[in-house]
Amino acid sequence: MADKFKVVENGYSLLTGDAIFQVVNGDEEVVDAGPYTKKQAEAAIKELAPKKAAPKKEAPAKKTTAKKATKK
């Protein structure tokens, strides 16, 4: 499966006559059937895009001080 998604026009609304859009992958397989307006379909692509993992912040290592031996 390809990682790239795109918006394709796939007919018209019978009620309004506006174009209906769907989201497909690079192999032309429907990924999200919608029906969407073009703006909604583009927003759906952003949601489907893989999210990059935030770099993990490691806690700084605690510095331990050596205890000095005391004489009695």
Delimit the domains of the chain by residue range: 5-48
Beta bridge partners of 14: none
pLDDT tens for each residue of 10-46: 889 899 889 998 888 878 888 877 788 888 888 888 8
Quote the pLDDT of residue 69: 67
Quote the pLDDT of residue 4: 85
Over 50: is that where the pLDDT of 2 sits?
no
Higher pLDDT, 42 or 60: 42
Quote the pLDDT of residue 5: 84
Quote the pLDDT of residue 1: 43
C-alpha distance from residue 18 to each of 4, 13, 66 (Å): 26, 5, 75
CB 22 within 8 A of CB 7: yes
